[in-house]
Structure 1
Amino acid sequence: MHILLLEDDTVLADILKDYLQEQYQVTHTYSMKEAMRLCDENRYDLYIFDINVPDGDGITLLKELRAFRDETPAIFITAFHDTKHLTEAFQSGGNDFIKKPFDLEELNVRIDNIKRHFGLDMQITLSDDTAFDPQTHTLNIAGALHKLSAKESECLHYLYKNRNRVVSSDELLQNLWAYDEIPSEDTIRTLIKQLRKHIGKEHIINIRGEGYRYE
């Protein structure tokens, strides 16, 4: 799992990096502008954003990312203890909130909760006889392993994480490819067609004129 960490406190940033790198790949930046550039060029599984950094704040950053339909789960870390910032954090699209000072084990618990909810870094049960491993890009269907391409796996994982809501082709294109590599919508239709062959049409519903919904 790849984490983007935005934290300007050098001491805390080093502590968090050392701790998180025992289990995850971590990219760290002190700058909101640099974080935005990294998000444009790379895909991450989790954002951990400090609310206040010298050139902006994590809440504004996440609002901008959500405006571009980036649904990557996000945890805010902050020294603020008031409900105003808590409310703003969740309204911006944040998924969790942790107040400084905090125990590293508490952060680990919150990350584990995000992983369970979004199916990160673990095998996902799609149905009684089908399990999906997004790390190895494999489907286990009634004991038989089926290998997916990396993009098929990413597409299925994204639809699953956003299950029970409609995801447009444009949203998939923006979240599965870098900005300068975005293909045509035909590519999405091909990916969906291939996934349906594996898991069945009843799990990926085509909502005419809107997009796709995983059920």
Structure 2
Amino acid sequence: MKILLLEDDTVLADILVDYLQEDYEVSHTYSMKKALVLSEEQSFDLYIFDINVPDGDGISLLKELRSFNDETPTIFITAFHDTKYLKSAFESGANDFIKKPFDLEELGQRIDNIKRHFGLNSLIKLTSEITFDTQIHLLRNGEVTSTLRAKESGCLQYLYKNRHRVVSDDEMLQNMWEYDEMPTGDAIRTIVKELRKALGKEHIINVRGEGYRFE
């Protein structure tokens, strides 16, 4: 699982990076602008944003990301204890909020809760009959086992993570490929076709003119 950490307190940042890197891949920055660039260049599974940073604030950053249909789950960390910041954080699209000072174990529990809610654990139960191991790209549908290609695995993870809405071809292309490697929409259609063979057509719905939705 990949985490983007935005935290300008150097001491706390070092502590958090050391802690998180025991289990996750972590990219850290002190800058809101750099965080925005990183979010455009890479696909992350979780954002952990400080509210107050020197060149802006995490709430404004998340609002901008959400305006681009970036639904990556987000935890805010802050020294503010005023409830207006709590309200602003959730209105911007935050999924959780933790106040400084906090125990690392508490942060770990909040991350685990996000993972359960958004299906970010390695082994995901897609349906009562279908399980998907994101680490080894292994899909089990009843008695049938399939090993997915990397892009097929990435596409399935993205559709499942965003299963509450329709995802367009363009959105998947932008989130799964580097800009200079981006193929045409035919690549997505080919991947979806292969996934339907393994999953069953009923689990990836084609919404005409809009994109795909996992069910």
| Structure 1 position 144, deviation (Å) | 3.7
State whether structure 2 residue 52 is matched by structure 1 residue 52: yes
Aligned to 1:37: 37
How far, CA to CA, are the matches of 2:69 and 2:176 in structure 1?
11
Partner AA of 1:14 in structure 2: D
SS in 1 for 2:201: coil
Residue deviations 1:115-139 (CA, integer Å, cap 9, x gap): 0111113211122332111121110
Correspondence for 2:187: 187
Residue aligning to 2:79 = 79
Q: Normalized against structure 2, the TM-score is what?
A: 0.94
Equivalent-residue separation in structure 2 for 1:99 and 1:211 (angstroms) = 39
Task: Report 1:133-212 matches (<5 A).
Answer: 133-212=133-212
Displacement of 1:194 in angstroms is 0.9
Residues 40 and 178 in structure 1, CA contact (< 8 A), matched pair in contact too: no
Distance 2:127 2:84 in 1: 41
Given that residues 48 and 76 in structure 2 are in contact (C-alpha distance below 8 angstroms), is that contact kept between their aligned partners in structure 1? Answer: yes
Question: Where does residue 120 of structure 1 map in the other structure?
Answer: 120
Distance 1:134 1:157 in 2: 8
Q: Offset of 1:157 from its aligned partner? A: 0.8
Deviation at 1:149, TM superposition (A): 0.9
Bigger shift: residues 43-52 or 170-179: 170-179
User: Residue 97 of structure 2 aligns with which residue?
Assistant: 97
How far did residue 93 of structure 1 move?
Answer: 1.7
Cα distance in 1 for residues equivalent to 2:32 and 2:180 = 21
* SS of residue in 2 equivalent to 1:66: helix
Q: Does the 8 A contact of 1:32 with 1:56 survive in 2? A: yes
Partner of 1:64: 64
Q: List structure 1 runs of 4+ shifted beyond 6 angstroms.
A: none
Residues 31 and 55, structure 1, Cα contact 8 Å, conserved in 2: yes
Consecutive unaligned residues in structure 1, runs of 5 or more: none
Q: CA RMSD in A?
A: 1.4
Shift of residue 160, structure 1, vs aligned partner? 0.8
Which amino acid letter does the alignment assign opposite residue 92 of structure 1?
S
Structure 2, gaps ≥5 residues long: none
Q: Is the 8 A contact 2:42 2:175 kept in 1?
A: no
Secondary structure of the 1:212 match is strand
Q: Which amino acid aligns with 1:40?
A: E
Indicate the SS of the match to 1:135: coil
Q: SS state of the match for residue 4, structure 1?
A: strand
Aligned to 2:26: 26
Distance, in Å, in 1 between the alignment partners of 2:187 and 2:169 is 9
AA in 1 matched with 2:37: R
* Matched residue type, 1:120: L
Task: Indicate the larger mover: 126-135 or 100-109.
Answer: 126-135
Number of residue pairs the alignment of both structures matches = 215
Secondary structure, aligned partner of 1:189: helix
Q: TM-score, normalised by structure 1?
A: 0.94
